[in-house]
A and B are shown apart, each in its own frame.
Chain A
Amino acid sequence: MVEPLQQPERRNPLRRTRQPSLPPVGRSRAGMLLTRAAAEGRFALQRCDECGAFCYPAHDVCPGCLSTDLKLTDAPDGGTLVSETVVRVPADVYFRERAPWRIGMVKLDCGPTVIAHLHADCGEAEPVRMSLQLDKAGQAAAFARPAGDTANAADDRQWREMTASPKFRRVLVTNGRSAVGQATAAALVAAGAKVHVGIAEPWKPFEAGKALEACTVVPLDVTDERSVRDLAADIGGKVDILINTGEHTRPGGLIGRHGTATIMDELSQTYLGFVHLAQAFGPAMRARGADGIDSAAAWVNVFSVYALANWAAYGTTSAAEAACVSLSHCLRGELRAGGVRVVNLFTGPLDTEWFQTVPPPKVAPKAVAKAIVSALESGVEEVFVGDVAEDVRQRLEANPKALERDLGA
């Protein structure tokens, strides 16, 4: 039985902010396969191509037939909790700070037995639903939840360590002028967050509208280093989740563009905007990764899927976003020290003005907002939103050259 999470009390200003510690980091190269699956929100294990057996933990050769042909394969997520134990005085600093910590052995329906972190409502001999979660160190960890629904399941203490739930967290949505920004802000309020929304150039007309009714609108122009720094000076110490919804899209390729003014705009809105936000908000977030129920938890980027494969019709925009993807990997490494995760969403063309002439399917801003909340609540790191994004993902994996030729046509 999980008690519902309570709104955290105000901090005692006389107490030191607890420094983040991380669970053990070491994993083998093969073990990284599971980290990939966890990042994508899949329950996948190595499966032997020769004998068909699933294996866990990660191996270099199949423990059954010694084949080296072990592929990451989606696995059925059912299992049974065979035994459990509570670790009361762990030697590891991270778990010691969070003790008592419950773990157990789960016999998977697909074969192997795994040692997993346990949701409080998992009982011995009962069926469980397995997932691979990214822990605070960004590594895959097996997690067992009850097979059925239970009350306040998402409020479980150990589960919350493995996610970045927005409930009772304070969120900054960077662009309240965009449809995605407004939908995101509204969705986060509905998910239990307290939301600040940035508005650039407040001298331009702005109707907050219904979507932002429960949010606090603040001035934020990501292209202006000072504006970003000023906002961080005000609220940087209490931004637990930052959602970078830049969304600066301009159609046009490279050599058809006349000069660089538009391209400079794209770079300052997307790349430099990201840099300004990271430099201003990143340090405090990294320092607050273990700051109680409303600790800093996640940084979310909303990217176009064409950041991963340049679409010539939006060529320079794609390139600016590609630079941001690279930057997000740098930020991910840097925030990891604080246990703060970086979530990248890749969307297909949005149903917004800048994709007006693009035929459907297009992604509704509300679908992006929903995907953001779901990513935070489930703890994943890479999300593809919409049919087009999913198609690009699959084609990149299958044959990136063919995709390049198609998108460059």
Chain B
Amino acid sequence: MAAPDPLDFAAAIATGALRVVDLTATLTPDFPVIVLPPEFGQAAPVRIREISRYDGRGPGWYWNNITLGEHTGTHFDAPIHWYTGKDLPNNAVDTLPAEHMIAPACVIDCSGEAAADADFLLTRARVEAWEEEHGRIPRGHWVLLRTDWSKRSPRDYANLKEDGAHTPGPDAEVMKWLVEERGILGFGTETIGTDAGQASHFEPPHPAHHFLHGAGRYGLQCLCNLDRLPPTGAILITAPLKILNGSGSPLRVLAVTRP
């Protein structure tokens, strides 16, 4: 069988036969970042400094220097980000296989549950119910948790209380199961992390990070526009910056779906 012609793909995009959906939040200085107790090192927010803007610093051109953390804005988590993945081969953003940067996605819509309960947890039973309707999650797929969290105001998005963040995410059992029984490529969320806001109290703590990265799988967070994706059938283009030994990277996440 002859290899498919990549130009067919380009033509389908150009004619609108396939639709491109941008799942990326804009990198702005006031976008919430993960908050740790202040005695720990902190993720840097986005900072944009003009080099010149058609002025005395450079009369004909406009450009900026930017600073930001690897885990700022819509970003990718590589296995090396967590201790469970620290000794795996090809575990950093500069060495991970390029084939993994284009892969299909299943989207589980939990926006109703998340609206009702900021601490909503995705469970194995909930995913199995989704499978009843849409079929078994194939190996090598992304699983994206739609919560419509990206539509919230920055304060409600971070949703910080006296006892920490209250944002939805997966429980420990479903993460282990998705990784081991379904062989997912990675897990993506609209919230600041792949884990729930209260996940430091789970067993193990931060189960999404724990199980995904321990098995060499990936995380995506701060996604948006998941409501524009079908439950199955979309592919994601997720190419992190090639940062030397990088633990993650801000990136542009694009989905390609049928219209």
Chain A residues with CB under 8 Å of chain B are 201-205, 219, 221, 223-227, 250, 259, 261-262, 264-265, 268
- Contact, CB under 8 Å: B155 / A225: no
Task: List chain A residues, Cβ under 8 A from B41.
Answer: 259, 261-262
Asked if residues A224 and B161 are in contact (CB atoms below 8 Å), the reply is no
Q: How far is the CA of A4 from the CA of B153 in the complex (A)?
A: 47
How far is it, in angstroms, between the C-alpha of A307 and the C-alpha of B176 when the chains are bound? Answer: 52
Tell me which residues across on chain B come within 8 A of A223, comparing CB atoms.
Answer: 45, 47
- B49 and A201 within 8 A (CB): no
Q: Does B154 contact A (CB under 8 A)?
A: yes
Contact A224 B155 (CB under 8 A): no
B157 at interface (Cβ–Cβ under 8 A)? yes
CA separation between A123 and B41, bound complex, in Å?
63
A-contacting 9-mer, from B29-37, B204-212, B221-229, B242-250 = B29-37
Bound Cα distance from A226 to B32, whole angstroms: 16
The reply to whether the CB of B158 lies closer than 8 angstroms to some CB of chain A is yes
Which of A203, A259, A268 makes the CB contact (< 8 A) with B158? A203
Q: How many residues of B contact A (CB 8 A)?
A: 21
Say whether B42 faces chain A, with CB atoms less than 8 Å apart.
yes
Q: Is B88's CB within 8 Å of the partner chain A?
A: no
Shortest distance in angstroms between A113's beta carbon and chain B's nearest beta carbon?
Answer: 54
What is the chain B residue whose CB lies nearest that of A248? B38
- The one of A202, A250, A268 in contact with B154, judged by C-beta atoms closer than 8 angstroms, is A202
Q: A265 to B50: give the CA distance in the assembly, Å.
A: 20
Chain B residue contacts of A261, Cβ below 8 A: 41-42, 44
| B51 contacts chain A at the CB level, 8 A cutoff | no
Beta-carbon contact of B30 and A227 below 8 Å? yes
Q: Given A221-B30, A225-B47, list of 6 further CB < 8 A pairs?
A: A202-B154, A203-B155, A205-B155, A223-B47, A225-B48, A261-B44
Given contacts A204-B158, A204-B160, A226-B48, are A221 and B29 in contact (CB under 8 A)?
A: yes
Closest B residue, CB atoms, query A265: B42
State the 6 A-B residue pairs at the shortest beta-carbon distance, nearest first. Answer: A203-B154, A224-B29, A203-B155, A203-B158, A261-B41, A203-B32
Which A residue's beta carbon lies closest to that of B43? A261
CA distance A227 to B48 in the complex (A): 11
Known: A224-B47, A225-B47, A261-B42. A202 touches B155 (CB 8 A): yes
Which residues of chain B from 135 to 157 have any CB-CB distance to chain A below 8 Å in the complex? 153-155, 157
Closest to B157 in A: A203
Ordered by A's residue number, 9 sampled pairs between the chains whose C-beta atoms are within 8 Å are A201-B30, A205-B161, A223-B45, A223-B47, A224-B45, A225-B47, A225-B49, A225-B50, A264-B44
Q: Are B35 and A204 in contact (CB under 8 A)?
A: yes
Contacts of B153 in A (CB 8 A): 203
- CB contacts under 8 Å to A, within B1-53, are 29-30, 32, 35, 39, 41-42, 44-45, 47-50
Chain A residues whose C-beta falls within 8 Å of the C-beta of B161 in the assembled complex? 205
Which residues on B sit within 8 Å (CB–CB) of A201? 30, 32
Given A223-B47, A226-B29, A227-B29; A205-B42 close (CB under 8 Å): no
The complex places the Cα of A195 from the Cα of B48 at a distance, in Å, of 29
Question: What residues on B are CB-neighbors of A221 within 8 Å?
Answer: 29-30
Cα–Cα distance between A261 and B158 once the two chains are bound (Å): 23
Contact A224 B30 (CB under 8 A): yes
- A246 to B: closest C-beta gap in Å: 15
Name the distance in Å between B172's Cβ and chain A's nearest Cβ.
27
- State how many angstroms separate the Cβ of B42 from the closest Cβ of chain A: 7
Q: Which of B48, B155, B157, B161 has the most A CB atoms < 10 Å from its CB?
A: B155
Task: Determine the residue in chain B with the shortest Cβ distance to A223.
Answer: B47
How far, in angstroms, from A265 to B69 measured CA to CA in the complex? 12
Looking across the interface, which residue of chain A has its beta carbon closest to that of B32? A203
A379 to chain B, nearest CB (A): 37
Considering the chains assembled together, what is the distance between the CA atoms of A261 and B68 in angstroms? 12
CA gap between A219 and B29 in the complex, in Å: 12
Q: Which residue of A lies closest to B50 (CB)?
A: A225
Q: CA separation between A224 and B66, bound complex, in Å?
A: 11
Q: Cα distance A265–B162 when bound, in Å?
A: 24
Q: Complex formed: what's the CA distance from A225 to B47 in Å? A: 8
List the B side residues contacting A259 at CB < 8 Å: 41
A residues in contact with B32, CB < 8 Å: 201, 203
* Nearest CB of A to B81, in Å: 16
Please indicate the chain A residues that have their CB under 8 angstroms from the CB of B158 in the complex.
Answer: 203-204
A16 CB to nearest chain B CB (Å): 27
The answer to whether A203 touches B42 (Cβ under 8 A) is no
Q: Which residue of chain B has the shortest Cβ distance to A261 in the bound complex?
A: B41
Docked complex Cα distance between A265 and B39 (Å): 12
> Chain B contacts of A219 at CB under 8 A?
30
For residue A263, give the distance in angstroms from its CB to the closest CB of chain B. Answer: 11
A268: chain B residues at CB < 8 Å are 47
Considering the chains assembled together, what is the distance between the CA atoms of A70 and B77 in angstroms?
70
A58 CB to closest chain B CB (Å) equals: 43
Interchain nearest-CB distance for A354 vs B (Å): 9
Measured CB to CB, the nearest residue on chain B to A203 is B154
Question: What's the Cα separation between A268 and B29 when bound, in Å?
Answer: 14
Interfacial chain A residues near B29, Cβ < 8 Å = 221, 224, 226-227
* Closest A residue by C-beta to B153: A203
Residues in B87-142 with C-beta less than 8 Å from chain A = none
- A207, chain B: closest CB distance, angstroms: 11
User: Least Cβ distance of A346 to chain B in Å?
Assistant: 24
B35 to chain A, nearest CB (A): 7
Query: Please, how many angstroms separate the alpha-carbon atoms of A268 and B68 in the complex?
Result: 13
